[in-house]
Chains A and B, each alone.
Chain A
Amino acid sequence: MTLALETIGLEKHFGGLNVTRNLSLQVKAGARHALIGPNGAGKTTVINLLTGVIAPDGGKILLEGADITAMPVHRRVRQGLSRTFQINQLFADLTPLETIGLAVAERLGQGTQMWRRRGTRPEINDEIEQHLTNFRLLDVMNEPTVTLPYGKQRLLEIALAIATGPRVLLLDEPAAGVPEIERHDILAAVANLPRDVTVLLIEHDMDLVFSFADRISVLVSGALLVEGAPDEIARDPQVKAVYLGEAHDA
């Protein structure tokens, strides 16, 4: 079984605080892998390390066997590693059509073209339509993103990550903050992600984790506590202790 994404002894300190400690994580190709952990476990730091927003103090990150530890953010995307954000990071003034078109054009290396009119490449238009249809955005494709309902923005967040053509996708709490009536659309979109894309889901919501993941890693205080299949994790006394402990503290 080949590995899509792997970290070897990843370390990150903020001052005296060790937010990531000797993290060695292996995500198999085609997996639906979830990374869970209580508040403050360092999940977001892991995402920022993987995508290159911050640099690790030690260890290595391998994408499909290639070392990407020192690669800048945009090059990792081109290598096939994409992410969504826990809090929407969208282009407020752009429409969904423009947003998706942008990502598709960049993936095809056409973002530097200054002399071509947009909308003139049938293959790009086809692909834009495909994404907009899959994520139920076709009906709002010409509305500025800032005016869309939150649930639609959340869908666009995922659609945008998919449009960059990732082989590994990091989903950072995709259903965070979505109102109950729109929640179903998001969960359906997550469930329908293409099977050939490896997904690492960072999530708080245990219902979503256990319905989605075939592999779960539990992160506590920046280090890996346990890893296993969902039923093993559900039965694990250490995991119970961590979550019950958190529940008692709260």
Chain B
Amino acid sequence: MTNQSEIAVSAARTGRWRWQEIVFWLLVLASYVLFSNRYLILTEIAWLALFALSLDLIMGYAGIVSLGHAAFFGVGAYSVGLLAKYGIINEPVIALVAAGLIAMVLGFVTSFLVIRGTDLSRLMVTLGIALLLRELANRFSDITGGFDGLQGFTIQPVLGLFEFDIFGSVAYVYCVAVLFVLFLIARRIVNSPFGLSLRAIQNNPLRAAAVGIPVNRRLVTIYSIAAFYAGVAGALFTQTTALASLDVFSLERSADLLLVLVIGGGGYLYGGIIGAVVFKILQEVFSTITPQYWQFWIGFVLVAIVLLGRDRMHRWVMWGPDFLIRRLGLRPASAVRPEGGRS
């Protein structure tokens, strides 16, 4: 039947790889060669992107807002530090997964507090949990090092083969590899029947329940998965800096993360990565121009984005490329951002 294949093609539409996506990841690969003297900031971008991807999973896809996502980042960061310090798990990749799982358990347990209630109560509960963890880390300073941070551990070579070098090239490749693998998994998840049910819940929880979707259970699941992602991001942070201090839990980190996702846009997976790139570049540029007042300009950009609307800015930026592409008779690049994505 013709319709049968039409339906199959249309249903699979959102999961199909677009050429823009392939170009995107080729650019990521190319960055290794093009910016070989900037591995430190590239590494920061990579773990920040993964962290933002985590927030995108709950906010962009399931509509759960959070002002305390740093809780999971922090738990991942300290877990990996402690595992290395006490020699429990020395191999970075295994430690990374372990740290993610620890964060995931925390995410599962706290999800029951978070999924209830409105956006405002979710903001407050998530914020509260992050503050709580920060103070716990502060209180148990004999384990965590308290205000001085966790010190005196070294990160072993990745897979026992690749030692972290002073130029940061191994760290960068390692972070990007982890980001890419977790991105692929996230991509698969959001394009699955499970992912569709999340979007339905985000759109209309009342009707989602009336279609037979166990709304709370789905939210618990994605919240736990997102906690795993955030934990891994925190673990990458600690492994690439050999440092874990109380500020991993800070409100500022959670707030910056929201900014990153607002800059990049939620609900299409690339928002977190693009947001991380733009945020770090802006931070770099502004702090070079005006070292003391760079946050003024970050604030300025944020207000501009919200007032102008990302879609409009996206159209302005893509006008040139789209014009060329139309001339060549291809699909416009600005179509890469599907409808339904929201900040």
Q: How far is the CA of A72 from the CA of B83 in the complex (A)?
A: 43
Which residues of A sit under 8 angstroms from B207, Cβ to Cβ? 85, 89-91, 160
Q: Beyond the given A74-B209, A98-B199, could you list 5 further A-B residue pairs with CB under 8 A, ordered by the A residue number?
A: A74-B213, A91-B207, A111-B193, A111-B218, A117-B12
Which residues of B sit under 8 angstroms from A111, Cβ to Cβ? 193-194, 197, 212-213, 218
Q: Which of B7, B206, B213 makes the CB contact (< 8 A) with A129?
A: B7
Q: Which of A99, A118, A144 makes the CB contact (< 8 A) with B193?
A: A118
Q: Mark A88-101, 1 if CB is under 8 A from B, else 0.
A: 01111111011101
Of residues 125 through 142 on chain A, the ones whose CB sits less than 8 Å from some CB of chain B are 125-126, 128-129, 132-133, 138, 141-142
Known: A77-B211, A144-B339. A122 touches B4 (CB 8 A): yes
Chain A CB within 10 A, most for which of B9, B188, B203, B208: B203
Chain A CB within 10 A, most for which of B9, B10, B206: B10
Q: How far is the CA of A120 from the CA of B307 in the complex (A)?
A: 41
Interface residues in chain A, defined as those with a beta carbon under 8 Å from any beta carbon in chain B = 51, 53, 72-74, 77-78, 82-83, 85, 89-95, 97-99, 101-103, 105-107, 110-120, 122, 125-126, 128-129, 132-133, 138, 141-142, 144, 160, 164
- The answer on a CB contact under 8 Å between B8 and A105 is no
Q: How far is the CA of A106 from the CA of B197 in the complex (A)?
A: 9
Q: Which of A77, A90, A118, A126 makes the CB contact (< 8 A) with B212?
A: A77
Which residues of A sit under 8 angstroms from B138, Cβ to Cβ? none
Q: How far is the CA of A113 from the CA of B215 in the complex (A)?
A: 15
Q: How far is the CA of A93 from the CA of B307 in the complex (A)?
A: 22
- The answer on a CB contact under 8 Å between A103 and B212 is yes
B74 beta carbon closer than 8 Å to chain A: no
- The answer on a CB contact under 8 Å between B340 and A125 is no
Chain A CB within 10 A, most for which of B10, B11, B15, B196: B11
Q: How far is the CA of A82 from the CA of B189 in the complex (A)?
A: 28
Q: Mark B1-32, 1 if CB is under 8 A from A, else 0.
A: 10110011111111100000000000000000
Q: How far is the CA of A112 from the CA of B89 in the complex (A)?
A: 33
For this complex, into which size category does the number of interface residues on chain B fall?
35 or more
Which residues of B sit under 8 angstroms from A93, Cβ to Cβ? 199, 203, 339-340, 342
- The answer on a CB contact under 8 Å between B10 and A116 is no
Which residues of A sit under 8 angstroms from B309, Cβ to Cβ? none
What 9 A-B pairs have minimum CB-CB distances, sorted nearest first? Answer: A119-B11, A93-B340, A119-B12, A77-B212, A91-B203, A89-B207, A105-B193, A73-B209, A114-B194
Cβ-closest chain A residue relative to B8: A119
Complex A-B: 14 CB contacts under 8 Å:
A77-B209, A89-B204, A91-B208, A93-B339, A102-B196, A102-B211, A102-B213, A110-B193, A113-B193, A117-B15, A117-B191, A118-B12, A118-B193, A128-B7
The binding surface of chain B is classed by DSSP as helix
- The answer on a CB contact under 8 Å between A102 and B200 is yes
- The answer on a CB contact under 8 Å between B204 and A90 is yes
- The answer on a CB contact under 8 Å between B213 and A128 is no
B36 beta carbon closer than 8 Å to chain A: no
B100 beta carbon closer than 8 Å to chain A: no
- The answer on a CB contact under 8 Å between B191 and A106 is no
Known: A117-B15, A141-B10. A94 touches B197 (CB 8 A): no
- The answer on a CB contact under 8 Å between A119 and B192 is no
Q: How far is the CA of A107 from the CA of B212 in the complex (A)?
A: 7
Which residues of A sit under 8 angstroms from B213, Cβ to Cβ? 74, 102, 106, 111
Q: Which of B8, B204, B209, B212 makes the CB contact (< 8 A) with A125?
A: B8
B92 beta carbon closer than 8 Å to chain A: no
Q: How far is the CA of A94 from the CA of B211 in the complex (A)?
A: 14
- The answer on a CB contact under 8 Å between B10 and A119 is yes
- The answer on a CB contact under 8 Å between A106 and B212 is yes
Known: A118-B12, A144-B340. A97 touches B7 (CB 8 A): yes
Cβ-closest chain B residue relative to A98: B196
- The answer on a CB contact under 8 Å between A91 and B204 is yes
B195 beta carbon closer than 8 Å to chain A: yes
B181 beta carbon closer than 8 Å to chain A: no
